[in-house]
Amino acid sequence: MKYLNVFVSGGSKGIGKNCVLKFLQNGHKVYFTSRNKIDKNNYLKKDFRKYEKNLIPIQFDSLKFNNYKILLKKIKKLDCLVNNVGDAVKRSSFEKSNLELWKKSFDINFFTAYCATKTFLQLLKKSKKGSIVNISSISSSFGGFPDSLHYGIAKSCMDKLTQSLGKELGKYNITVNSVLPSVIMTDFQKRHSSKQRVRNVLNSTPLGRLGEVEDVSDMVFWLATKNTYISGSNIEIAGGR
């Protein structure tokens, strides 16, 4: 088995952290960014301490678009890029929203992925099997909910970038895919979704449960390590919604 060099943006918590741990658990070397300094002892669960040497946290603000080249001083080889950074910013109808909110949403949900992909593309081309996995959202499938169009539309642009790059980068044997989770109970949902909203999603989910972070990280891991033919795809992780 070839051990990979993996980069996960925004890997300090939630889906990003679970992706980091999944790759670590399988012997891969993982770089991840966090706006705050990370203490490995507090970050790693007890059972993961033995993988500490393969974990490289990088304190980095993904919204500082002019600073991405700094990452190339720390990362010389890369096989897999996971663009995980994203946020709804806040709930707002289109009517009450303003240009600043839309710019913030596109910055965090689209341009972070754009910048990371541009930065690491040459390293991925050197890999014999490069992969890019973008963490999108089920809301991109239908343009977003009425109180978060700015989020859903920014994520839909990420998905279109995924489709286009799948075509452009295939000649370098680089696969590019997006995963589109429904409600996953992370800090994101605690900040942006009411209990009633979550119950409504649960009641409309055919499989009868909400998603777990493992549902997403398992798919990300498979796309990065096992997949050889799926590219340019947007894969829903939504329990049948």
DSSP string, the chain: -PPPEEEETT-SSHHHHHHHHHHHHTT-EEEEEESS---HHHHS-GGGGGGGGGEEEEE--TT-GGGGGGGGGT-S--SEEEE------S---TTT--HHHHHHHHIIIIIHHHHHHHHHHHHHHHSTTEEEEEE--GGGGGT--TT-HHHHHHHHHHHHHHHHHHHHHGGGTEEEEEEEE--B-SHHHHHH--HHHHHHHHHT-TTSS-B-HHHHHHHHHHHHHT-SS--SEEEEESTT-
229 classed as catalytic = no
One of 31, 43, 51, 151 is an active-site residue; which one?
Answer: 151
Catalytic residues: 151
